[in-house]
Amino acid sequence: MMRKFTAWTLIVLFVAVIAGGLYLWWRLDLRWRPHVIGKNQAEIGKILEGAGWVSPGQTGPKLYLIAYRDCADCSRYEAAEFPVLQKAGVDTRVILVARADQNGQPKSTAVERSTVAELWVNRNWSLYQRWMASPAGAWTGAGIPAADGDVARSAVIGAGRDMAERLRPLLKANGVSFGYPMLIWWTKDGRMEGCACRAPRSWRYVRNDLAPG
């Protein structure tokens, strides 16, 4: 009886150690890793390529960042990671979205919509940099055509929102929840990967794929 009890105790302890190790592995590593996008690659790629992205025009691997103007996590990611990625030749392609109102509450301003529309229409990386360098409340969008009241530019804003909604189910089919900052890229061996990389712990995986070393 004592031997049987000891054997079961050892088995339980062994299982507990294994389970604990797996949990720690998930907590410290797996949960932060991006997902491989194996489904709908062509459609997702077409949506991204057809969006109004802006970039510094690098010739290396492409990284798409989908964001909105006042997204704090997006700004933190860009400030910390873009210099490293661009130094490695990565073409950091930013797609800004002017979010729709939610429950009667505005999620974007008139000047934000105008600036987003201008970026989509004319792909001006310098304008994007100036906007990001300016406090959101101080940006007047001087010289930028208004989007509100302009049928064509309002349609551009709608196209950005539609892009995000089209991506949601396509990414969900790959286990990727859409969120901001939304990052999608291709590894050197051709895999498409993605994540809503809010946590800094997830950023190193993107960097390792695109700018190792």
Rounded Cα distance between 120 and 51, Å, is 7
Looking at residue 188, what is its pLDDT?
A: 83
Rounded Cα distance between 68 and 108, Å, is 9
Rounded Cα distance between 161 and 69, Å, is 14
In percent, the amount of the chain with pLDDT more than 70 equals: 84
Please say if the pLDDT value at position 141 is more than 90: yes
Q: Tens digit of pLDDT for each residue in 23-50?
A: 333 343 434 468 999 999 999 999 999 9
Which of 55, 86, 32 has its CA nearest to residue 198?
A: 32
β-bridge partners, 186: 192
Domains of the chain: 34-210 (3.40.30.10)
pTM, two decimal places: 0.85
Residue with tokens 């809503």: 196
Binned at pLDDT 50, 70 and 90, residue 64 comes out as very high
Q: Tens digit of pLDDT for each residue in 100-129?
A: 998 888 899 999 999 999 999 999 999 999
Looking at residue 155, what is its pLDDT?
A: 98
Looking at residue 8, what is its pLDDT?
A: 52
DSSP state of 102: B
Rounded Cα distance between 206 and 63, Å, is 9
